[in-house]
Structure 1
Amino acid sequence: MEPVSLIVLLAMGTLAGAINAAVGSGSLLTLPVLLALGIPPGVAVRTNTIGILFSTFGSVYGYRREIAEEKGNLGPLMAVTAVCATAGALLLLASPGAALDVIVPILIVFALVMVIFQKRITAAIRAGAERRAARRGGAGSPATDGTDPSAAVSPGDDLSSAASIASAPTPARSPYRSPALIGTMGAASIYGGYFTAAQGILYLGVLGTFTGRSMKAVNSVKNLMSLIVNLAAASVYLVAHFVLRVEIVWLATAAIAVGALVGGYFGAHLAKKMPEWLLRGIIVVVALFALVRQVL
């Protein structure tokens, strides 16, 4: 691989690491460059996944305090995410090269649509979740569920004891333990294990929708889930490389990894300060160039 190509990958890896820490979709900078260099799609995805993994190390370390606050609630979500990401990576290994020539451009288009219309998609998903929650709340209200609130206290009960029990706060279950959230993240992680590009945007949408929290509030958990997905997929590819001799371009991986590690930790604040239109514009231009390169 030529030095100029490695420098480009290093630069794109740094910017991709920063973008991944801030919003996600950084792989839409590095993966298209690998494809433009003539690397076959399957090899490019494996090479990119191992390299971009280092961006999640940096970003998770940068959000370590926020993650520590939720660590007691993330066990089931982490386990399902790891299993489903492994399944996605195995699916990539099982996909024939000829099929990937068709599938990867389609996935890039899908990822681009998520990048361009991220706000609209997230808003539509969240609005639907809020409507369903409102219907469930209405169905379960005291006025409509057929229960008598006075039945909770029998005539012989100590009213003061009953009042203290009624006023005692009931600990709420963390939204990160919601079966709906865990199941949806599992499906998203299959995509992430198969094709890393834009997985962060997908996770932000899922986490924000099912927790009801802002994108900024769930960004730390998004980065942790991205680390788990990339680590699971990279582990599968490493085993396949040493056991089955599947190809990985290690020089390209190293260039992306160095840039991604630096960008993931030190570059997040830069990505957050950059105009959103500029971030999306860079991603769209690079990805479209890769699509043209694939078609021609």
Structure 2
Amino acid sequence: MSLLEAGLVVLAGIAAGTINTVVGSGTLITFPTLLAFGVPPVTANVSNAIGLVPGSVSGAVGYRRELGGQRARVLRLASGTFLGALAGAVLLLVLPASAFEAIVPALILLGLVLVVCQPRLSAWVAARHAHLGGVPENGAPWVWPAVLLVGVYCGYFGAAQGVLMMAVLGIGVDDTLQRLNGVKNVLAALGNGVAGLVFVLAAFDTVDWTVVALIAAGSVIGGQLGAGVGRRLPPWLLRTVIVMVGAVALVVLLA
């Protein structure tokens, strides 16, 4: 890899770290960049997943203020993400890529619809739980299984996982989008970390550590930039950004 290509990979990492913190579709920037520079697809996917872990952690740290008072919620949902990401990473190693290709665009489209309809659906969920004293602190009963499924997707590929996670949390958990975005960043960091560890242990020879280092350096910077930008967005604008990024992700994957 030339010096110019290395610099462009770092810039892609910065962009991916920023977008992942605000929304969560950074893989759609780094993965095609690596392919364009001749990195084999499997190596690109595995190395990208590992390289984005530090950026996810950086974004989660950047949102530490919004995470205040959510310890129990994060720990409960983290168990679902952990199990799901572990399963997804194993599936990536044992199943052909075609196994998930058909369902990934459908999942992203579903996530976009849910994000757009989130205010009305959240009100409906709250009304359904009103006779029980409101939505439980850690979310409606279906939230944990949904987080588990998003974790599976995160471990397998992860592009636009943030769109799906924000749709689940926004509808099933009674809290502000900014606080839920903080939770999303923690879960994304955990999911990427679990998948990255599986790839290191089971597919060490396919990892390009130069690529990992370049993406990691960029994504850490991007994580901090994303935290600064994301927390300034009002709910309607954050929702709009999520939908726009998710729509681009859908177009790219379909193309």
TM-score by length of structure 2 reads 0.81
Gaps of 5+ in 2: none
Higher RCO (CA 8 Å, separation ≥ 6 residues): 1
CA distance in 2, matches of 1:123, 1:212: 17
Q: Percent identity?
A: 29
Alignment of 1:229-244 (within 5 A): 229-242=191-204
Query: Which amino acid is 2:44 matched to?
Result: A
Alignment of 1:124-163 (within 5 A): 124=117, 127-128=120-121, 130-131=123-124, 134=127, 137=130
Alignment of 1:209-220 (within 5 A): 209-220=171-182
Alignment of 1:21-170 (within 5 A): 21-95=21-95, 99-100=96-97, 102=98, 109=105, 113=109, 118=112, 120-124=113-117, 127-128=120-121, 130-131=123-124, 134=127, 137=130
CA distance in 2, matches of 1:92, 1:228: 17
Query: Which amino acid is 1:196 matched to?
Result: G
Alignment of 1:6-25 (within 5 A): 6-25=6-25
Summarize the Cα distance change of 1:55–1:91 in structure 2 as closer, same or farther, 3 Å threshold. same
Partner of 1:268: 227
Is contact 1:18-1:260 (8 Å) kept?
yes
CA distance in 1, matches of 2:57, 2:173: 24
Gaps of 5+ in 1: 142-169
Instruction: Decide which moves more: 229-238 or 174-183.
Output: 174-183
CA distance in 1, matches of 2:75, 2:50: 24
Query: Which amino acid is 2:213 matched to?
Result: A
Superposed displacement of residue 197, structure 1:
1.0
Q: Select the structure of larger CA radius of gyration.
A: 1
Query: Which amino acid is 2:168 matched to?
Result: V
- String of CA shifts for 1:152-180, please: whole Å, max 9, x gaps: xxxxxxxxxxxxxxxxxx8x785325431
Is contact 1:45-1:196 (8 Å) kept?
no
Q: CA RMSD for the aligned pairs?
A: 3.4
Partner of 1:223: 185
Superposed displacement of residue 129, structure 1:
5.6
Partner of 1:284: 248
